[in-house]
Structure 1
Amino acid sequence: MILRSLLLLLLLVLPLQAETVVADLSQTRVSITANFDGSEILIFGAVKRETEIPPENDLGVIIAVEGPPEPVTIRRKSKVAGIWVNTASADIDAAPTFYAVASSAPLDKILSQTEDLRHKITTRTAIRAIDSGAAEELDQFTDALVRIRAGEDLYQTRESAVLLRSQTLFSTEFALPANLTEGTYRTRIFLTRDKQVIDEFETAIDVRKVGLERWIYNLAHERPLIYGLLSLAIAIAAGWGASAVFRYLKG
């Protein structure tokens, strides 16, 4: 009797998580080779429920893929005396080398600003900036970084790109460009209701150079002298070969 009462009390104290995310990826490893021209990742999953589907249709799904963060210095050029020179700069403490976010509806409809700041979901909140003495212009520098990397397909925002079926099954695809940075790509899936995050699922995509790309990368970073000598030898050989071909054709 006492044990039953304790179990009942425990059920009353602990919150029942009615909706949780179960998800998977079409691939968790991307290999960068000499002819790598990008890749596509399919992310799919379902909403697991302990109760019936709520009658209100306000469930949201947000998926974010984040590449390894790195510090960045943004500089602004201005024309001074007819010459373009750097006149201002701002330091970004950590900016994702790749960031893509997709949602089942417009983000402002399924995510509050408070939850966005807490979980750092949108591109702007995923960038950590430092006040470098140009605080009043920091937003402009951050906007410039987002604009530049968006033009290179490194930053992507795709609202309403997650297909949500019957408030249960969801799926979307992410296009990874060819200019990826090697490392672990953090992948997060958020379930929202009433603009609040009610569950989060996290996994990772491993992006690595393989084959000749890996050998050249290791040589350049671990044996820079040998890499430099080898590059010089290749350049000399290529120049001599081109010269020999030219003389042969001329003769």
Structure 2
Amino acid sequence: MTGPVMNARAALAAFGLAAGALPASPAQAEKLLLALSSQQVTIASNYAGGELTLFGAARGEPRRSGGRWEAVVRARGPGRTLQVRRKERVGPFWINGPARSFERAPDFLAVLSSKPLASVAAPEDIASEQLSLAAAADGAPAGGTRRLDAAEDAAFVTALVRRQTQRGHWREDGRGVAFLDRDVFRATIHLPPDVAFGAYEVEARLYDQGRLAALETITFRVVKAGFEQRVARFADRERLLYGFGMALLAIAFGWTASAAFRRD
């Protein structure tokens, strides 16, 4: 047995002993075991992005695919309202046009699979379970009062996926899950430098020729550390005093700049 497989099995065994039974239905708990390289990501002033490794172990034999599993791993961050606004040209000017709000959309989303997603799960499952980036965007409730037709709404969905992908907050990789041997797999979750604080959920799905055979979830948290954590705690406990202090600091900076560039 190779070194990476032994390390993965050791991590899964240690996690199983430490955590006991994972929250899942009895049938599924016997199918899939998960472990993360870390269950807390600490953000300090020098944080420039990071990564977590998910290890998974499938139990039992595939019944339909001749001894081969396929896996899909989806990592989701805190939900928030994301807005996409279209610019329109009026003569020589560009003005704000129609907008589409995506409520409770994940600020961070990574969809990793052992093969391209369309080769692993059925299209209706991808849409209903919001496994792809487009399905996740399309499934986010629309905000605002203006109703969009189907073509216009699809254009906003495409724009949101493009923007979030360019920011490094959304990612889809059809080769992002690697099987180390027949039943042990690994996936690396890349976190951007401006990752949001809060709780994250990692969901792993095991497929047997397009049929969902097991589903399991595990969580991790992104938290502040050092000076940033102390400032955040103070701001939360003493909101009025914190706001007053920030106002005084802004005035002091303004006065200093004015004095430095004052002309005699």
State the TM-score, normalized to the length of structure 2. 0.77
1:205 alignment counterpart = 220
Which stretch has the larger CA shift, 59-68 or 114-123? 114-123
1:11 alignment counterpart = none
Give yes or no for the alignment of 1:29 onto 2:40: yes
Instruction: Tell me the amino acid that sits aligned with residue 134 of structure 1.
Output: L
Q: Per the alignment, do residues 27 and 177 of structure 1 end up closer, same or farther by CA in structure 2, a change over 3 Å counting?
A: same
Residue of 57, 60, 63 corresponding to 2:73: 63
Q: Per the alignment, do residues 191 and 77 of structure 1 end up closer, same or farther by CA in structure 2, a change over 3 Å counting?
A: same
Contact 1:19/1:198 (8 A) holds in 2: no
Contact 1:25/1:43 (8 A) holds in 2: yes
3-state SS, counterpart of residue 142 of structure 1: helix
* Gap regions ≥5 residues in structure 1: 1-15
1-structure distance, mates of 2:49, 2:230: 20
Instruction: Please provide the CA RMSD for this pair.
Output: 2.9
1-structure distance, mates of 2:209, 2:199: 32
Structure with bigger gyration radius: 1
Contact 2:36/2:52 (8 A) holds in 1: yes
Residue of 144, 148, 151 corresponding to 1:134: 148
1:138-149 aligned at under 5 Å gives the runs 138-149=153-164
* Gap regions ≥5 residues in structure 2: 1-26
* Overall identity of the aligned pairs, in %: 27
Give yes or no for the alignment of 1:115 onto 2:125: yes
1-structure distance, mates of 2:170, 2:258: 44
Residues 84-140 of structure 1: per-residue CA shift (max 9 Å, x gap): 211111121221100001111111111111221332211222231428411331111
Give yes or no for the alignment of 1:157 onto 2:172: yes
Instruction: Tell me the amino acid that sits aligned with residue 130 of structure 1.
Output: A
1:12-91 aligned at under 5 Å gives the runs 20-49=31-60, 51=61, 56=66, 58-91=68-101
- Alpha-carbon offset, residue 197 of structure 1: 1.4
3-state SS, counterpart of residue 119 of structure 2: helix
1:10 alignment counterpart = none
Contact 2:62/2:69 (8 A) holds in 1: no
Which stretch has the larger CA shift, 113-122 or 53-62? 53-62
2-structure distance, mates of 1:81, 1:53: 64
State the TM-score, normalized to the length of structure 1. 0.80
Q: Per the alignment, do residues 159 and 83 of structure 1 end up closer, same or farther by CA in structure 2, a change over 3 Å counting?
A: same
Residue of 178, 182, 191 corresponding to 2:206: 191
Instruction: Tell me the amino acid that sits aligned with residue 234 of structure 1.
Output: L
Aligned residues: 232
Residues 211-240 of structure 1: per-residue CA shift (max 9 Å, x gap): 322343355566555334323433454566
Contact 1:115/1:197 (8 A) holds in 2: no
Q: Per the alignment, do residues 78 and 216 of structure 1 end up closer, same or farther by CA in structure 2, a change over 3 Å counting?
A: farther
1:226 alignment counterpart = 241
2:116 alignment counterpart = 106
Residue of 193, 203, 209 corresponding to 1:178: 193
